[in-house]
Amino acid sequence: MLIRKAADLTYVDVTPKQVYLNRRRFLEAMGIVGATAIAGRRLFELAAPSETALAASKFSGLLKSPFSTTEKENSYQDVTHYNNFYEFGTGKEDPAKNAQKFDTSNWMVSVEGDVSKPRKFSMDEILKIAPLEERVYRHRCVEAWSIVVPWIGFSFSNLVNLVEPTQKATFVAFHSYYDSRQMPQGKWAGIEFPYVEGLRLDEAMNPLTLLGVGMYGESLPNQDGAPVRMVIPWKYGFKSIKSLVKIKFQSKMPPTTWNLAAPNEYGFYSNVNPNVDHPRWSQARERRLGEIFKRATLMFNGYGDQVASLYAGMDLKKYY
Ligand SMILES: Nc1nc2c(c(=O)[nH]1)N[C@H]1C(S)=C(S)[C@@H](COP(=O)(O)O)O[C@H]1N2
Ligand SMILES: [Mo]
Kindly report whether the peptide bond that precedes residue 227 is cis, defined as omega within 30 degrees of 0: yes
pLDDT given for residue 64 in this prediction? 86
For each of the domains in the chain, give its residue range(s) and CATH number, in order of start: 6-56 (no CATH), 66-311 (3.90.420.10)
Q: Which one of 98, 176, 218, 238 would you pick to mutate in the ligand 1 pocket, going by the greatest count of ligand atoms within 8 A of its CB?
A: 238
Tell me which ligand sits closest to the C-alpha of residue 87: 1
SS (H, E, C) 82-112: CCCCHHHCCCCCHHHHHCCCCCCCCCEEEEE
Tell me which ligand sits closest to the C-alpha of residue 143: 2
* Residues in contact with 202: Cβ distance below 8 Å, sequence separation at least 6, in sequence order: 310
- Strands of 90-170, DSSP E: 108-113, 119-122, 133-140, 145-155
| Closest atom, ligand 1, to C-alpha of 193 | 1
pLDDT given for residue 5 in this prediction? 40
Cα separation of 50 and 47, whole Å? 8
| Closest atom, ligand 1, to C-alpha of 176 | 1
* DSSP percent split of the chain into helix, strand, coil, nearest 5: 35, 20, 45
In order of 180, 212, 256, the CA distances from 190 in angstroms are 14, 27, 15
Please state whether beta strands 108-113 and 244-250 pair in parallel, antiparallel, or not at all (unpaired). parallel
pLDDT tens, the chain, 320 aa long = 334 444 333 323 332 333 222 333 333 444 444 444 444 333 333 333 333 332 222 223 447 899 999 999 999 999 999 999 999 999 999 999 999 999 999 999 999 999 999 999 999 999 999 999 999 999 999 999 999 999 999 999 999 999 999 999 999 999 999 999 999 999 999 999 999 999 999 999 999 999 999 999 889 999 999 999 999 999 999 999 999 999 999 999 999 999 999 999 999 999 999 999 999 999 999 999 999 999 999 999 999 999 999 999 999 999 99
| Closest atom, ligand 1, to C-alpha of 147 | 21
Ligand 1 surroundings by CB, under 6 angstroms: 79, 83-87, 141, 176, 195, 224-225, 237-238, 240-243
Ligand 1 center to residue 11 CA distance, Å? 36
Sign of CA dihedral 265, 266, 272, 273: negative
User: Ligand 1: which residue has its CA nearest to atom 6?
Assistant: 85
Ligand 2 center to residue 257 CA distance, Å? 12
